[in-house]
Amino acid sequence: MSSPVLEVSALTKHYGGVHALDGVSFSIARGELLALIGPNGAGKSTCFNIVNGQIRPDSGRVRLAGRDITGLAPRHIARLGVGRTFQVATVFASMTVLENVQMALIAARGQVFGLWTAARHRGHGDALALLEQTGLAAFAARPAATLAYGDVKRLELAMALAGDPALLLMDEPTAGMSSDERQAMIALVRQLTRARGLAVLFTEHAMDVVFGHADRVVVLARGRLIADGSVEAVRDDPAVRAVYLGGASITLSQTP
Ligand SMILES: Nc1ncnc2c1ncn2[C@@H]1O[C@H](COP(=O)(O)OP(=O)(O)OP(=O)(O)O)[C@@H](O)[C@H]1O
């Protein structure tokens, strides 16, 4: 296994008496798709927000490719190679699909232009390549507003990749999708993870997505890490069943 892209160690964050995170440690390697799961309030968002700099931990460290990035500003962390997609996709509805990716490339490269007309020829080839990789090339000239929901999420992924991140944080990448869309989206993410040598950390409530596609699963409950292992190991872990599922006999199946 190569050296970790992301390493979080002993992360702790309290809000008054609430232990949002309590000594959480895990790491992600290049080319690895890691699911971060847990019941509501387990600490998943807090963990994401600490990694990308929106929240400072009370204690613990975050390292990106060995470099300590704990407490750096989100912009700085983004520049160092941490991308993020959100549960609610954020694209410019009135721009074309291609223009959205061009804008993301321009923003990622820190280029500033007074006029969009000057910018619109920039990054054309790179933007098209990203659309090819995310299966959106045929929609390049369409306004983003006309895309189906699943394609908007692909566009958001293409825009996140414009920053050429080493680590991509994905907040419920398949939220709001049909079962088929979910499978197609996570299969795409998995393929890009491998092809680009990305490290991807994603939160997800859809268990078919997690157990069908993740390389590894980290489980939080009430701020504590209760399991970190393969899909099979986590699915069969009594602590996961007891705490994460509240003891209910739910089938953590690999298929929807
Ligand atoms: N700004 C805050 N102030 C007070 N408490 C907070 C704050 N942010 C989070 N918490 C608490 O910390 C705990 C962890 O919250 P967090 O949002 O990280 O969980 P989560 O696993 O992302 O939950 P969900 O799946 O519902 O999004 C919860 O008990 C939450 O109420």
Q: Which pLDDT belongs to residue 124?
A: 82
Q: In CATH, which of 2.115.10.20, 1.10.10.10, 3.40.50.300, 3.30.450.20 is domain 1-81+165-256? A: 3.40.50.300
CA of 43 to the centre of ligand 1 (A): 6
Residue 196 CB-density burial (10 A; 0-12 exposed, 13-18 middle, 19+ buried): middle
Q: Is the CB of 74 under 6 A from ligand 1?
A: no
CA of 62 to the centre of ligand 1 (A): 19
| Closest ligand 1 atom to Cα of 45 | 22
Q: Is the CB of 44 under 6 A from ligand 1?
A: yes
pLDDT digits (tens, 9 = 90+) for 183-241: 999 999 999 999 999 999 999 988 889 999 999 999 999 999 999 999 999 988 998 98
pLDDT over 60 at 114, yes or no: no
Which residue's alpha carbon is nearest to atom 5 within ligand 1?
15
Across the chain, what does the average pLDDT equal?
89
d(CA 103, CA 44): 29
Residue ranges covered by each domain of the chain: 1-81+165-256, 90-162
Which residue's alpha carbon is nearest to atom 7 within ligand 1?
15
pLDDT over 60 at 247, yes or no: no
pLDDT digits (tens, 9 = 90+) for 120-134: 566 788 999 999 999
Interface pTM, i.e. ipTM: 0.97
Three state DSSP letters for the chain: CCCCCEEEEEEEEEECCEEEEEEEEEEECCCEEEEEECCCCCCHHHHHHHHCCCCCCCEEEEEECCEECCCCCHHHHHHCCEEEECCCCCCCCCCEHHHHHHHHHHHHCCCCCCCHHHHCCCCHHHHHHHHHHCCCHHHCCCEHHHCCHHHHHHHHHHHHHCCCCCEEEEECCCCCCCHHHHHHHHHHHHHHHHHHCCEEEEECCCHHHHHHHCCEEEEEECCEEEEEECHHHHHCCHHHHHHHCCCCCCCCCCCC
| Closest ligand 1 atom to Cα of 43 | 18
d(CA 134, CA 97): 12
d(CA 171, CA 36): 10
Q: Which pLDDT belongs to residue 248?
A: 46
CA of 98 to the centre of ligand 1 (A): 36
Q: Which pLDDT belongs to residue 92?
A: 84
**pTM, two decimal places:** 0.90
